[in-house]
Structure 1
Amino acid sequence: MTDPAAAPTDPTRVVVVDDQRLVRSSFAMMLSVEDDIDVVGDAADGAQAVDLVRRERPDLVLMDVQMPVMDGIAATEQIVSDDLAKVVLLTTFDRDDYLFDGLRAGASGFLLKNTEPEDLVDAIRSVARGHALLAPEVTLRVIERMTSDDTPTDSVAPSPDLARLTPREREVLELVGRGLANAEIARRLFLGEATVKTHVSSVLAKLQLRDRVQAVVFAYENSLIRPGNSAG
């Protein structure tokens, strides 16, 4: 559960990006009634989104994936690499082939287009507080896709940053990469949840990762996740 004390004092400024006007209007309407969320613009494709974000400097972008001119993955990569805003991708479970590409591009998470209004608002607040938005079932889908990839990760040299982790931190990173929440990791390792939270924060800091989403990608790319051990 998110800490209310960590909530931003200013309204979260949001940009909505989708090539369907009705979708953009629906999301904007859902969000505009909230006192702590301010929709500062919308765009119909990735190129427009990048320009708009550079101009408005929102806190968060709700980004569709499939769009003309520039798709949401490419736009996300530009926005995140230039540190302009956090990005949450809009997706559907029947098109989850974009998930891992979105993570690589730097997205802070994913929302389904049919998300209930209250869940949409909660998600935006959560990401604005610095939390990644990746539900366990989505994490496992991403891992399943990554571990079924034809390209073996064993042929890639592990990051030298792994050596900065203690054995316990490396263990925690592997479990984060397998999609376990802090409470599950605590039970698995017989630790307190606060201790696990401290380990996770240390791992992210040492590896210079933004959030747990990036930790999943890092764990896969460094062969800490292998086919057959992604869950449980």
Structure 2
Amino acid sequence: MKTDTTVVEHDQVCLVSTAEEAAALPSLSIALVSHDGAQPPSLTPLRPRVTGNLSAVRATDDVVVCYSERPAADVMHLYRTLGRDMPAVLVAAREFDAQDVVAAFDHGATSYLVLSQTPEVCLVGAAITTARGESCLSPVAATALLRHVLRAPFAASTEPLSSGDLTPRERQIMELLVTGHTVLEIAEHFTLTSKTVRNNLSTIYAKLQVRRQSEAILMWLGYQPQSA
């Protein structure tokens, strides 16, 4: 089964060391949210637009990099203001905080790197991957998410999931999602943009009354959250 998540280990490091390599990088619109104006040097070849103002983030950006002490708060703000139009988000956290990881993904983050665990030079590859609609995670972030999902009170459903509220296209997207296809692969299958697929997924999550991909997949496979 394919997966749309890359766990970034320490040996997965690629440096952009020559002008030729920099020129070969894709042209992306990147908003780098940094409240103190700091910029990871490794991102320089991608020419990000550095801003401390979240209102400067555009729906047309390919990816937003949240580079701050408490990045989940920035993701929450973007989620509240942009909703379905929020671009793919790469969190570049300076320190690890398990609750911050969960909160960021609950509000639409796509990738999460912890820079005290994963070298900053991994940011270029992670930004490009995130812009494609795929996820990159530092191992500690992946562990935090896994533990959160395993603690979620899911139980086997006594009745099959009613997908009547989903459109035929939304059902097709879910079928591809549960078989391990990435957002990019789903977009290519239907000749759509990755942003359109993410918008469809946001609508699906709302209809299924879940907040993230893992919960939607569990429900689609016949599980539902227990009542509190």
TM-score by length of structure 1 reads: 0.55
In the TM superposition, residue 97 of structure 1 has moved relative to its aligned partner by 1.3
Q: Which residue of 2 aligns with 1:11?
A: 27
Q: Which residue of 2 aligns with 1:97?
A: 99
CA distance in 1, matches of 2:26, 2:33: 22
For the pair 1:215 / 2:213, whether they are aligned, the reply is: yes
Instruction: Give the alignment partner of residue 148 of structure 2, picking from 135, 138, 145.
Output: 145
The one-letter amino acid paired with 1:209 is L
> Residues 1-232 of structure 1: matches in 2 within 5 Å?
11-21=27-37, 24-25=38-39, 27=40, 29-32=41-44, 34=45, 37-43=46-52, 48-49=53-54, 51-54=55-58, 57-64=60-67, 66-67=69-70, 71-78=73-80, 81-91=83-93, 94-114=96-116, 115-134=118-137, 138-149=141-152, 152-154=153-155, 160-161=162-163, 169=175, 173=178, 201=186, 208-209=200-201, 214-219=212-217, 224=223
In the TM superposition, residue 154 of structure 1 has moved relative to its aligned partner by 4.4
CA distance in 2, matches of 1:124, 1:12: 9
Percent identity, aligned pairs only, is 14
In the TM superposition, residue 143 of structure 1 has moved relative to its aligned partner by 2.5
CA distance in 1, matches of 2:78, 2:49: 18
Instruction: Identify the structure with the greater helix proportion.
Output: 1
In the TM superposition, residue 105 of structure 1 has moved relative to its aligned partner by 0.9
CA distance in 2, matches of 1:143, 1:123: 20
CA distance in 1, matches of 2:97, 2:154: 24
The one-letter amino acid paired with 1:15 is A
The one-letter amino acid paired with 2:30 is V
CA distance in 1, matches of 2:102, 2:57: 23
CA distance in 1, matches of 2:82, 2:139: 23
In the TM superposition, residue 83 of structure 1 has moved relative to its aligned partner by 1.0
Structure 2's unaligned 5+ residue stretches are 5-23, 203-210
Shift in alpha-carbon separation, 1:94–1:125, aligned structure 2, 3 A: closer
In the TM superposition, residue 107 of structure 1 has moved relative to its aligned partner by 0.9
Shift in alpha-carbon separation, 1:119–1:197, aligned structure 2, 3 A: closer
The one-letter amino acid paired with 1:132 is S
CA deviation digits over 1:83-103, x for unaligned, max 9? Answer: 142211223663021222212
CA distance in 2, matches of 1:160, 1:80: 29
Shift in alpha-carbon separation, 1:96–1:160, aligned structure 2, 3 A: same
Higher relative contact order, chain-length normalized (CA < 8 Å, sep 6+): 2
Structure 1's unaligned 5+ residue stretches are 3-7, 177-181, 183-195, 227-232
> Contact 2:63–2:88 at 8 Å: present in 1 too?
yes
CA distance in 2, matches of 1:59, 1:144: 30
CA distance in 1, matches of 2:73, 2:162: 33
CA distance in 1, matches of 2:126, 2:112: 9
Shift in alpha-carbon separation, 1:117–1:142, aligned structure 2, 3 A: closer
> Contact 2:61–2:87 at 8 Å: present in 1 too?
yes
In the TM superposition, residue 31 of structure 1 has moved relative to its aligned partner by 1.6
Give the aligned CA root-mean-square deviation in angstroms: 4.7
> Contact 1:14–1:59 at 8 Å: present in 2 too?
yes
In the TM superposition, residue 218 of structure 1 has moved relative to its aligned partner by 2.0
